[in-house]
Amino acid sequence: MTAEKKIFSAAGEKEVTRAIVGEFAREFMEYVDSDVVIVGGGPSGLMAGRELCRANKRVLLIERNNYLGGGFWIGGYLMNKITVRTPADKEMDELGIPHSEISPGLHVADGPHACSKMIASACDAGLKIVNMTSFDDVVLRSDGSSEGSRVAGVVINWTPIEALPREISCVDPIAVESKLVIDATGHDACVVRKLEERGVMSTPGFGAMWVERSEDLIVEHTGEAYPGLIVCGMAVSTTFGVPRMGPTFGAMLLSGKRAAEVALEKLG
């Protein structure tokens, strides 16, 4: 009797499991010591990661959700249209995102198309991503000099750990070391807030909505907020008290790019 001809290769359950566990572990081992760790996979974090990887840096992005993109999938009020103001339309062109100019200097695109192009571009550049992983704390180092401490990595844990009942949630986190950390966690500004909790910096929180002022200020204030820690995207507004901006995303793209430039200057 001739063997039954099958469409797919003979790999079975154990091979599939080994492929997943082995490849995840191999990659994770490599990125336990990264040039840059980015916390948050929204538009600003993805843009920063893309730019750093294009400059051949080793970058790990930590995202607490099982998906990437943050607020970039959907515009305002649960509608799938996002807006971008000139000059950020050039970034959309570079990412291959179709858009149209609705009024002078105001461009509209489909959120899902924009977001998926952004994610693909960051992955193509070489960005490594771990999902379902939450930032828990910073690694702080001090060499004993008058310069004080600097952020030297992040403490992380699986996101589902947060859902465990308190009395049994004693699951120790692990840490990843890096030369720089970028806080791209949006309005939450989780990394900055952790430093605030530790009493080493204080933040005013974000201001009321004012689109025309906010976008410029976000880009201008993008940079090092504490030694070793760069902030980008809406985390900038929480850190420096800049007005919020609503569903227009040009500043997120330019802020991510600026964060990468600052990081590259610091990394030399």
Select from 2-10, 29-37, 60-68, 163-171 the region that touches ligand 48F (CB under 6 A): 60-68
- Does 63 sit near ligand 48F (CB under 6 A)? yes
| Residues of span 133-152 touching ligand 48F by CB under 6 A | 134-135
**20-to-12, 24, 28, 59, 132 alpha-carbon distances in Å:** 13, 6, 12, 21, 16
Contact call for residues 229 and 210 (beta carbons, < 8 A): no
Question: Would you count residue 70 as binding ligand 48F (CB under 6 A)?
Answer: yes
223 binds ligand 48F (CB under 6 A): no
Per CB under 6 A, 252 contacts ligand 48F: yes
Half-sphere exposure at residue 1, Cβ-oriented, CA atoms within 13 angstroms: 3
Q: Is 72 in the site for ligand 48F (CB under 6 A)?
A: yes
Nearer to ligand 48F, 57 or 72 (CB): 72
Determine if 35 is a binding residue for ligand 48F (CB under 6 A): no
Taking the mean position of all CA atoms in its chain, how far away is CA 256? 9
Per CB under 6 A, the list member of 34, 36, 37, 40 interacting with ligand 48F is: 40
Spatial separation of the C-alpha atoms in residues 141 and 148, rounded to whole Å: 8
| Spatial CA neighbour of 157 closest among 184, 139, 179, 175 | 175
Single-letter code of the amino acid located at 214: S
Q: Does 190 bind ligand 48F (CB under 6 A)?
A: yes
Identify the DSSP state of 57: -
CB of 216 to ligand 48F, least distance (A): 14
* Residues at the contact surface with ligand 48F, assessed by CB under 6 A: 39-45, 62-65, 70-72, 134-135, 184-186, 188, 190, 233-235, 245, 247-249, 252
